[in-house]
Structure 1
């Protein structure tokens, strides 16, 4: 069986797989633009890779990340091959660190103190405890659920929103489906929740694109903040800039954007209320990811049927 790897730093991934599998019946190699693979291990591959495999019996496509939007949008992606994504693989702990920093930055007024430092102003602010800082996590998949439960354990009042119903320890879960469901906009407009921070971990799907827009920003409390380490497609960036300029939103910590790298002329770079990081919130840890890849490769070897991501739902 042949395992083709297409990604930046592909040889490192090949070596990690060789060490774990130690199976002479497997040929593990970096995509050279010519050879075919029975299992494709990829990140953002070109259409040509799939076009080359037309008529070849590809068993599974293993995606080197939790986000599959770019893969599902590939026009040459075969319809009959399951796509398996990484589920956490250690990314959740990195993501939780990132979100914790964002919440602490705004809850303890470090954004305001930075402005005061530039102005030479000495003015202590009242400390707001986590218990008085309600937050909402949008998207309760494998990573989002861990983030929500981790923040609840930190003492924050945590709300969660997802398409289908979830039950998580210490988290008030809201969902869209069913008779008692509410839309995301309805939940975010609910003043009784007292939300101080919106943490976006929604997947990139037709249903989630542009959902964080002017209407939502206007409905949030004036001192609310946005933390987005999830998907840039969820945010209407022009509306976000307008809300920040108007003071409708207190600030934002942004790791992902509609187009990456973020354009040099984007007004977000010059927005004093924003912290920008370069899609670095939760890099994929090779060790945990390679372990997941090996598990799926061995399942293929055993002839097991793999259930991939939903093409309909996009995750």
Structure 2
């Protein structure tokens, strides 16, 4: 393989897909057994998944996949990308799925702007997969692949992807996890693109921040990992609470009012806490938006939500 050079290019799509599928089938079946009984043994599923992935990436199979990436050129993408897309839909097994996502990430980084003709197809493919994946490790891997493609997406593709990602924060727990992991991947791998959409993402990050924040204690079903991602995103994409809140106050207030009127108890709760945070940080600077916030909060008072009552007191001070 090392000396094959251009001779292997016509066969890359077959070779790569065969090896990716083999990552799971060649795995020690004892690891599958351990995962099935991990909960009873007191082993964290995510730690076991990370171990399985680490073992797979240390195998000769993965080394050969790295060599395949080095052999890719513009022409071979025409055959390789559609085969990878089919494998994203049909591939099974943790190692295979993480392997597919990792290979796509490395492939995009290798070919750079040559991936542009395929960005629309890849974005439409990868974003739903991130939402559907139940494994946190696989979800992170596909989010990284999505972020790698985002760097080369057109402005309209980037806007659609980022807006759809931000909208996940009001959905179920799995969608909220996907939102956090995707935004974190964008921030790490496509920060130059994400910086143009702060008006979209900053309000979402604000009301979804970590429980480590002394004012906001929202928790995603006790998932400290996810809430921690939102806290990291806030630190990475802002220059201090007061300045950021003043800069995006209109968008933040609009999102709070939207979420506090939703049928979701979690959305109401985190929005009410967002009002408390605004009052704590901005004080009298919040006066221009006080009326609309007060009206939104008052509508929820009959619901007897404690955070709503606290928000009301904050606004009346």
Structure 2 length as normaliser, TM-score?
A: 0.30
Ranked by relative contact order (alpha carbons within 8 Å, sequence separation 6 or more), the top structure is 1
Structure with greater strand share of residues: 1
**Rg larger in 1 or in 2?**
2
Structure 1 length as normaliser, TM-score?
A: 0.30
Structure with greater helix share of residues: 2
